[in-house]
């Protein structure tokens, strides 16, 4: 039979009632202690992103090398013969650009709303 590890509970205490008769507010629990180990900074996040991007680039390069045969492509009246991998890669880039344009439009819309709300007088 395995033994379950015991967890330590943190009890919050209530301050004494105030002189004006208002109900006391519970004290907030102290923030949890940081686990010993590495700190996560912007530079470490960027390094992780660069490593992941490099690994993705290797996968894409393998895909392009393995799918080098040419295919016929027709788009809006244009006809061309292009490598299958390059055609799929260009389609993925076009999809990413469309997604980025939609995201940029939404962020611009939200910023405009925030700016408008900031200018409104606050009710008191």
Instruction: Give 35-62 pLDDT, tens digit per residue.
Output: 566 677 878 888 888 899 889 889 888 8
- Residue 1: per-residue pLDDT: 53
Is residue 101 predicted with pLDDT exceeding 60? yes
Average pLDDT on 67-88 reads 85
Q: How far is CA 117 from the centre of its chain?
A: 26
| Strand, helix or coil for residue 71 | strand
* Owning domain of residue 113: 44-119
Residue at 17 is within a domain: no
Average pLDDT, the chain: 77
Inside any domain, residue 38? no
Q: How many CB atoms lie under 10 A from the CB of residue 1? A: 3
Count of domains for the chain: 1
């Amino acid at each position: 039979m395995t033994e379950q590890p015991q967890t330590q509970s943190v009890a919050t205490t209530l301050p004494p009632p105030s002189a004006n008769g208002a109900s006391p507010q519970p004290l907030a629990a102290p923030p949890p202690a940081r686990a010993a180990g590495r700190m996560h900074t912007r530079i470490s996040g960027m390094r992780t992103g660069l490593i992941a991007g490099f690994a993705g680039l290797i996968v894409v390069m393998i895909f392009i090398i393995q799918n080098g045969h040419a295919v016929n492509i027709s788009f809006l009246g244009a006809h061309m013969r292009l490598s299958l991998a390059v055609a799929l890669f260009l389609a993925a880039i076009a999809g990413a650009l469309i997604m980025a344009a939609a995201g940029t439009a939404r962020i611009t819309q939200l910023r405009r709303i925030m700016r408008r709300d900031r200018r409104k007088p606050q009710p008191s």
